[in-house]
Amino acid sequence: MSLLRVPSRFIVWVGLESEIPAAITSGDGSAVGTHIVYINVAHTVDIQVASGDTIRVHNPSEGTRAGNVTLIW
Domain count, the chain: 1
Domain that holds residue 19: 2-58
pTM: 0.87
pLDDT, residue 62, reads 85
pLDDT for the residue numbered 24: 94
- Could you read off the pLDDT of 1-28 as tens digits, one per residue? 999 999 999 999 999 998 888 899 999 9
Is 71 a domain residue? no
Residues in the chain: 73
- Encode pLDDT of 15-72 as tens digits: 999 888 889 999 999 999 999 999 988 888 999 999 999 999 999 988 888 888 888 8
Single out the residue of 48, 30, 28 nearest to residue 38, CA to CA. Answer: 48
Is 54 within the bounds of a domain? yes
| C-alpha–C-alpha distance, residues 26 and 37, integer Å | 9
